[in-house]
Amino acid sequence: MAHPKRRTSKTRRDKRRTHDKLTPKAITICQNTGELHLRHKAYVVDGDLYLHGKVAIKDYAPVAAAATSTDEE
């Protein structure tokens, strides 16, 4: 099994790890609804699906919610 010939310095180790940090997700407040949402993603407010600040689907019902309601019957 291979072993390092010399000890890796703290500086060299930390340089390698500089790109390992996580970045926070971009969250925006909608100007029309005032809701917090992830950027470039659709979001639901009061039963309507919004995308880019405009109503994409009125009276939106998620497919997963519809499937669970039919399973209960």
pLDDT in tens, 21-55: 888 899 999 888 898 999 899 999 888 998 888 89
Is the per-residue pLDDT at 70 higher than 90?
no
Determine, yes or no, domain membership for 33: no
Helix (H, G, I), strand (E, B) or coil at 55: strand
Is the per-residue pLDDT at 12 higher than 90?
yes
Determine, yes or no, domain membership for 73: no
Structural domain boundaries enclosing 50: 41-66
Average pLDDT over residues 48-73: 78
First and final CA of the chain: distance in angstroms?
A: 61
**Inter-CA distances, 20 with 13, 23, 24, 26, 49, Å:** 12, 10, 13, 18, 35
pLDDT tens sequence across 13-22: 999 888 878 8
Determine, yes or no, domain membership for 22: no
Total count of domains within the chain? 1
Q: pTM of the predicted model, to two decimals?
A: 0.54
Q: Which letter does DSSP use for residue 11 in this model?
A: H
Cβ contacts of residue 47 below 8 Å, gap of 6+?
59, 60, 61
